[in-house]
Amino acid sequence: GLAVATRADCINDECLDLLSELSEKTYLVVELGLQTIHDVTANHINRCHSYAEFLETYRRLTDRNINVCIHIINGLPGESTEMMLQTAEILGKMRPDGVKIHLLHVIKGTPLAGMYISGEYTPMERESYIETVVKQLEYLPPETVIERLTGDGGRDSLLAPLWSLDKRAVLGGVMKRQKQLDSIQGLRFQEG
């Protein structure tokens, strides 16, 4: 099979035709970076396309029966837990084939690193991230494949949060919290 990771604003008609052709020949999944449903955040992080534009591209792909995996990021500047949960709830109603959940990493030499150093940005704490992911999973349909619960930051380039380097602890923390809460993927899922 083939996985193509791109942005929603990079898929024009010609590209869509090519993806359709490929999907008829092999297993294909298009990975789209949504990050958040909140345009105010998207503008702040310079995503360069709106939620409405994302939805249009998603619809065009699914209308052609192309598998889609959507990426979201927790801990974006200015986003509350409620906003992150709203993203998951709306995402669930879209019924994507796959979802990748990421934690925002502060990478050395980036504008975000400057915000972090100056105190303008505070990364999520591990327990808050785990709690948020557990609740987000409850909004996602049981049949949606969860392809990632946290990402990797390079040891040499990661400035914060350093706890994210212990991926096993994060994944174990999610499973432990699910068990404590008797929480499962799809618990709060409602048809869109």
Please give the biggest Cα pair distance in the chain. Answer: 51
**Segment 141-171, tens digit of pLDDT:** 999 999 999 988 888 999 999 999 999 999 9
SS3 (DSSP) at 52: helix
Q: Show Cβ contacts of residue 161 under 8 Å, excluding neighbours closer than 6 positions.
A: 103, 105, 106, 123, 124, 125, 126
User: What is the mean predicted confidence (pLDDT) over 121-134?
Assistant: 98
Would strands 106-107 and 158-160 be described as parallel, antiparallel, or unpaired?
antiparallel
Per residue in 23-60, pLDDT (tens digit) is 999 999 999 999 999 999 999 888 889 999 999 999 99
Give me the percent of the chain exceeding a pLDDT of 70. 99
pLDDT tens digit string along 78-118? 999 999 999 999 999 999 999 999 999 999 999 999 999 99
pLDDT at 140 over 90: yes
This prediction's pTM: 0.94
Query: Contact at 8 Å (CB) between 64 and 20?
Result: yes
